[in-house]
Amino acid sequence: MALSEFELIERYFAGRRAVAPNVLLGIGDDCALLKVPPGMTLAVSVDTSIAGVHFPDDMSPADVGYRSLAVNLSDLAAMGAQPSWFTLALTISRADEAWLSEFSAGLFELAERFSLPLVGGDVTRGPLSISIQVGGLIPDGKALLRSGARAGDAVYATGSLGDAAAALALRGDAQAGPSHRELFGRLHRPTPRIEAGMVLRDLASACIDVSDGLVADLGHVLKRSGVGARIELQCLPRSAAFRELAEQFAEPDALVLGGGDDYELCCTVPPEREVLLQARFAELQCPITRIGRVEAEPGLRCVDARGEDVPLRDAGYRHF
Ligand code: ADP
Ligand code: MG
C-alpha cells in the first residue's frame, strides 16, 4: 500500500529526532520552537535545489540529499555561523521509498556531522524540488559581511577552485580514474567550510562562499564594499586532480575563474592578521591561499605570470 504523507514524514525524516541545545520543540507541532541564546545573533538562509538546474538529473538520491544541505550550510559558513537547525520542504512526484530512503541517508549523513537537527518541514507532490532552510548562531556583532573589504586587504580562497566545473565538463567521459572520482566528489558532495568560517570571524574583513564562480562572487564582495581587486591567475588554487586532468579541458583557467559549485570561501584579510590566519588554518588543516589584493579602484582585474591582463568574463549563473 502506498505510504501516507504522515507515514512518509515519520519514516524518513521525523524518526531522526535529535536532541539539540536551543531546540525547545522540533517536528510534530504546527511550528518548531527555537531559542537564540543571549549574546547570539540568528543567521537564517534558504535555498532551493531543482533537478536539471542545480544538480544533474542522474545524480544519486543520496548525493542529492547531501548536496542540498551542503549548499545551505555553505551560506552559514560564509557568515561565520555555527549551524544550529534546519527545515526541509520537499516536493516529490511520488512516494518512492527507495528514493526517499537514499535521499534521507545522504541528507542525514551530513546533518549528523554537524549534530544538526531537522526541526520541521513540509511534503508536497510535484516535480522534484528540495528547499532547505538553515539557522545558525553567531556571537553578536561578529557576522562576516560582504561589505567589509578595504583597500590593502589580502584576498584569500580556501581549498581549490574549478573542481566542480571540471567534473561537469568531464560528464559523459567514459574513463573514471581516481582524479575523475575526486572531481565528481567535489561536485556531488561539496564540503561546507563551517569551521573555516568560524575561524574567519576574528580574521576576515569580508567573506562570501564561491557558488557562482570566483569572478562573480568576489565581484559581489567588491561591489558591496565599494572597492576593487587584482588577482593573480597563477596563484589561484587548483587541486592535484584538476592539474592532472587540466589538458582535457578546453579552457582550464576559465573553469578556475568562472566555474561555480565549489563552495569554497573567498575572504579579504587585513595584512596585520595574515600571520595569524596562516597559523589558525594550519591548525584546522584547511588549505587557504592568498590570491590577490584589494585595491581602491573599483572592478576586478586579473594578471597572468608575466603581469599581463587576463580578460574576465562576467561569469555567474543567472536564472533570469
Ligand atoms: P501543517 O499541516 O501544520 O503544515 P504538516 O502536516 O505539513 O503540518 O507537518 C506535520 C509536522 O511534520 C510538522 O511539525 C512539520 O514541521 C513536520 N514535517 C513535515 N514535513 C517534513 C519534512 N519533510 N521534514 C521534517 N519535518 C516535516
Ligand atoms: Mg505543512
* Residue in 9, 48, 101 to alter for ligand 1 test, most ligand atoms within 8 A of Cβ: 9
What pLDDT shows up at residue 4? 87
> Which residue, by CA, sits nearest to atom 5 of ligand 1?
122
Which of ligand 1's atoms lies nearest the C-alpha of 29? 14
Ligand 1 binding pocket includes 269 (Cβ within 6 Å): no
Ligand 1 binding pocket includes 122 (Cβ within 6 Å): yes
The answer on 285 and 222 residing in a single domain is: yes
Q: Which of 89, 87, 69 is nearest to 77 (CA)?
A: 69
Which of ligand 1's atoms lies nearest the C-alpha of 123? 20
- Nearest bound ligand to CA 27? 1
Among 20-29, 40-49, 193-202, 217-226, which stretch is predicted with the lowest mean pLDDT?
Answer: 20-29
What pLDDT shows up at residue 119? 97
What pLDDT shows up at residue 278? 98
CA of 142 to the centre of ligand 2 (A): 34
pLDDT in tens, 27-42: 999 999 999 999 999 9
- Nearest bound ligand to CA 131? 1
Q: Is 2's pLDDT higher than 80?
A: no
State the average pLDDT over residues 44-57.
92
> In the chain, where do the E strands start and end?
23-25, 33-34, 40-50, 82-92, 118-125, 129-139, 154-158, 206-210, 228-232, 264-269, 288-295, 299-303
- Domain annotation covers residue 312: no
- Please tell me the pTM assigned to this model: 0.94
Indicate the pLDDT class of residue 55, thresholds 50, 70 and 90: confident
The answer on 212 and 174 residing in a single domain is: yes
Q: Is 1's pLDDT higher than 70?
A: no
- Domain annotation covers residue 308: no
The answer on 131 and 158 residing in a single domain is: no
Q: 304, 310 in Cβ contact below 8 A?
A: yes
CA of 26 to the centre of ligand 1 (A): 10
Q: Give the number of residues written for the chain.
A: 320
State the average pLDDT over residues 63-76.
98
Range of the domain at 163: 154-303
State the average pLDDT over residues 43-58.
92
The answer on 165 and 285 residing in a single domain is: yes
Per residue in 127-147, is it b (16+ CB within 10 Å) or e — as a string? ebbbbbbbbbbbbeeebbbbe
Cα angle: 26, vertex 30, 35; to 5 degrees: 45
| CATH label of the domain that carries residue 98 | 3.30.1330.10
Indicate the pLDDT class of residue 268, thresholds 50, 70 and 90: very high
Q: Is 317's pLDDT higher than 70?
A: no
Per residue in 225-261, is it b (16+ CB within 10 Å) or e — as a string? bebbbbbbbeebbbbebbebbeeebeebbbbbbbbbb
- Nearest bound ligand to CA 89? 1
The residue whose grid cell reads 584576498 is 155
> In 93-153, where do the E strands start and end?
118-125, 129-139
What pLDDT shows up at residue 314? 65
The answer on 77 and 164 residing in a single domain is: no
Indicate the pLDDT class of residue 240, thresholds 50, 70 and 90: very high
Indicate the pLDDT class of residue 174, thresholds 50, 70 and 90: low
> Which residue, by CA, sits nearest to atom 9 of ligand 1?
122
pLDDT in tens, 114-169: 999 999 999 999 999 999 999 999 999 999 999 999 999 999 999 999 999 999 99
Higher pLDDT residue, 304 or 317?
304
**Domains: count for the chain:** 2
> Which residue, by CA, sits nearest to atom 22 of ligand 1?
121
One-letter amino acid at 67 equals: R
Q: Is 58's pLDDT higher than 90?
A: no
- Domain annotation covers residue 207: yes
What pLDDT shows up at residue 218? 98
Q: 139, 166, 193: which is the final residue of a domain?
A: 139
| CATH label of the domain that carries residue 261 | 3.90.650.10
Determine the angle formed by the axes of helices 97-113 and 5-12, rounding to 10 degrees: 40
Computed over every residue of the chain, the mean pLDDT equals 94
